[in-house]
Structure 1
């Protein structure tokens, strides 16, 4: 049995998959397998995979399916894994050469169910956008999965799925799979459920993953599918309620993560050049249940509070901000703050 199974969903990533796969061929840790699921690619992705891995010194297999999305592709890969641990690497992201070695060695120190590392967010042309995910409050501390989950919800930290390794037994014992046809938030939903069931979790300090922010990826789109993220968080809430989670966890999901999902989704949809999206935003924000959800949210930072209040009381201004119709930043800030003075009692 191999130590780690790496699952890669791949859809039309011919321009990115080479860096992804070469990061695996360069790993200092060698006892792993790679399962790639070609999710109905219409470009040269499959030929690239076969060419790059033809002389690989690790076992690998290429599975094929009609285009069903990353969730279905990951689930197909999960059904084939032989490793003790499982990791998920998207077809446009890539690992530091020490990722598998450091993550597996850390996992075996105390038989951890999950190990989480920091990551570096980069653009398509490899410029650093964000240095790393900050896990300062978690580093070196073995935690029960529920306690780990509370901290990342309170601190608004969200590890990317590529920066985690999961014990296979954890996933099998709890029947954890990705929600099919969900294109936004399915990885967050999966990770939260896994953390909820984890006996022990630990993080490592180094950023060992390069997460590529690609304009054409499903998670960056500005269509109504962005609201899949809201649906994912609502499913998490129902799942935790069904499994009798403690009140603090339920509160954090209901009054923090779900309203954040609404704000994130509405900001994304406002970025689109489709004029219909403005109507969608106004319709959503008029929904009494949505408004109640947002009114119950109490963000800590002044910036987030300003964003929330603008969305609730001045949705058209919120749309203009994210649609970049107000191009002068100084003017934008002045308009925004002036409109919000009464609501936030800013002097």
Structure 2
């Protein structure tokens, strides 16, 4: 088959397997981009199938794998009891794989799963049974991080914000206006379900051409428009600490995050996100850009932070900056946003490299009348702490 993709580009894709029947009533279409995960992919698809009937379909889009992943999936699908599809596309990245999977999906809801993770489908189906009465567009469940080496599990990175929004409730129905802190939920597309009609209506898409961090743009666009159901159950298990995991490698691909953030800012602007919502977007964007800066190649780190500061300076007004500072962000985020706003590139590079910060590198922060207060407050507290420590030491 030939798929007329984004920007008018044509992509030759092969339909390797399709066990669906025209009369199947599909509740959820799970789309799995596949690339060289032969050791883990069976666990991913079996986690979906174990609690599923014929109302769930699995669509695997092989993104040009060079290992035995596609053959493993094909052998499994031939014996599966639920509807399955396997498509092969030339290596084009996860965004293209997801979008092609969406175009092929028949489900009322769309879900995503990385081919090395796994899902609690029963929890998502329970959430749907409640969320339908509220006519929600997007359904969120909590996630857990799973260490592939030790077998240990621990809370996902957005646990604080879940607790902040739910306030001990079993579920909540919110929007970006009523609870703008939803933008601080982890921008991972796998942690949620979306109504297929909502995706089509809002023309949501993952930016094709990005190998990493394509979720951030999608995250901002969907939440800006959605009625959201948050269900206080664990639905997704995110694997870390495995060999070959692309998002755990230092590489020039970290620059993709800057492109994704830029596109997310454009989405927020076009979808009329209010000032408070913008403040939460800016705070999480600053944090994820800094994290990517830490994990880019050393030779590229200065250029990365130069581009990051340009993004913040272009998109953050004085009013928005002040709103961010008044919003609940921690001490580190206050200094980080200040550094990005004043263009303290050397400070950011040294801090991200865990080097010894020179006094001269802090000058743009310390001397800024409009954006340096947060940094000065931190430095004063550190200075007072050191003086107190010296005083106590002398008393002993």
TM-score interval w.r.t. the shorter chain?
Answer: 0.7 to 0.9
2:344 is the alignment partner of 1:344: no
2:353 is matched with which residue: 316, 320, 329?
A: 320
Partner Cα distance (1:240, 1:309) in 2:
21
Give the equivalent residue in structure 2 for 1:122: 146
Of the candidates 166, 182, 203, which is equivalent to residue 152 of structure 1? 182
Task: Return the alpha-carbon distance in structure 1 between the equivalents of residues 349 and 284 of structure 2.
Answer: 24
Equivalent residue number for residue 332 of structure 1: none
**Secondary structure class of the residue paired with 1:79:** helix
Describe the superposition over 1:37-80 as per-residue Cα deviations: whole angstroms up to 9, x where unpaired.
01111100011102222221111110110110110000110111
> In 2 relative to 1, CA 201–50 (structure 1 residues): closer, same or farther, beyond 3 Å?
same
Superposed counterparts of 1:16-27, under 5 Å = 16-27=40-51
- Residue of structure 1 in register with 2:191 after alignment: 163
Residues 1:197 and 2:228 are matched in the alignment: no
Q: CA–CA distance in 2 between the matches of 1:119 and 1:235?
A: 26
Measured against aligned partners, the alpha-carbon deviations of 1:216-274 in whole angstroms (never above 9, x if no partner) come to: 33333322221211221211211222233323333443x423322331221111xxxxx
Aligned to 2:76: 52
TM-score, reference length from structure 1? 0.82
Secondary structure of 2:57's aligned partner: strand
Matching residue within 206, 211, 235 for 1:178: 206
Give yes or no for contact 2:116–2:239 (8 Å, CA) kept in 1.
yes
Q: What are the ranges of 5 or more consecutive residues in structure 2 without an aligned counterpart?
A: 1-24, 363-374, 385-396
3-state SS of 1:202 partner? strand
Deviations 1:5-34 (A, max 9, x none): 111110111011010011122115551111
Q: Which digits, 9 at most, give the CA deviation of each residue in 1:171-224, with x for residues without a partner?
A: 0111112110112321122122112221x2111111121111245333333222
Contact 1:107 1:115 in 2 (8 A): yes
TM-score, structure 2 normalization: 0.72
Q: Of the two, which has the highest radius of gyration?
A: 2
Q: Which residue of 2 aligns with 1:41?
A: 65
Residue in 2 that maps onto 1:259: 286
The SS at the match of 2:353 is: helix
Is this contact kept in 1: 2:262–2:311, CA < 8 A?
Answer: no
The correspondence of residues 234-245 of structure 1 with structure 2, limited to 5 A, is: 234-245=262-273
Aligned to 1:302: 331
Contact 1:215 1:221 in 2 (8 A): no
Partner SS for 2:257: helix
Residue 224 of structure 1 is aligned with which of 224, 235, 252?
252
Whole-Å separation in 2 of the counterparts to 1:285 and 1:235: 17
1:249 aligns with 2:277: yes
Secondary structure of the 1:203 match is: strand
Query: What is the number of residues matched between the two proteins?
Result: 323
Partners of 1:188 and 1:62 lie apart in 2 by 26
Q: Deviations over 1:150-181 (max 9, x none)?
A: 1133xx33153212010010001111121101
What is the CA deviation profile of residues 113-140 of structure 1, one whole-angstrom value per residue up to 9, with x for unaligned ones?
1110001111223633532442122352
8 Å Cα contact 1:30/1:58 also seen in 2: yes
Provide the residue aligned with 2:302 in structure 1: 282
